[in-house]
Amino acid sequence: MSINPIEIAKDIINIGSTAGLKKDVVDLQAAKLRILTEQLSLLVTENTQLKLENLQLKTLAQNSQPFAGGFHDFEGVLWKRTPNGFGKTPYCPQCSDHPVMFGQPPMGGDPMLWQCSVCGFTADFSGRPR
């Protein structure tokens, strides 16, 4: 069973009309359901944005753990060595404390570019060090 709110709204209106409700009652139902589906749509959009923001904050929290050792400069951004190679996201070469950079767009596979959340410095994504 699908949980498409528009389909559910249509079903409710359909139930109202087949149950013999007067047209003005069904129209009123339709108007109220339209308000609900619009509100739901806004909330879904907001939820998607919040999930994205949460993902960014989790990445930031993970990558801001203190660490020792130098960075590896690769394609204009700094990379942190890990036991298996390098971390997933680079660090800003412009800021003196080298904060973590975000991929833009932030979800999916490889980003188009890296961006520093502090100074705004960007670098094109040019692969990852191996």
Residues contacting 94, CB < 8 A, separation 6+? 116, 119, 121
Minimum gap (Å) between residue 86 Cβ and Zn ion: 19
Considering the complex, state which of residue 17 and residue 122 has its C-beta at the smaller distance from Zn ion. 122
Which phi-psi region, left, alpha or beta, contains residue 108 (left: φ > 0; alpha: ψ -120 to 50)? Answer: left
Backbone dihedral angles phi then psi of residue 112, each to the nearest 5 degrees: -80, -40
Measured from the CB atom, the residue of 86 and 121 that comes closer to Zn ion is 121
Q: Rounded to the nearest whole angstrom, what is the least distance from the CB of residue 44 to Zn ion in the complex?
A: 33
Nearer to Zn ion, 17 or 117 (CB): 117
Binding interface with Zn ion (CB under 5 A): 92, 94-95, 116, 118-119, 121
Q: Give CA–CA dist 124/9, Å, rounded.
A: 46
Q: CA 78 to CA 23: how far, in whole Å?
A: 67
For residue 71, the minimal CB distance to Zn ion (Å) is 13
Rounded to a whole number of angstroms, the minimum distance from the CB of residue 89 to Zn ion is 13
In the block, residue with structure tokens 């753990």: 65
Residues paired with 85 in a beta bridge = 82
Both tokens assigned to 4? 């498409």
CB-nearer residue toward Zn ion: 33 or 78: 78
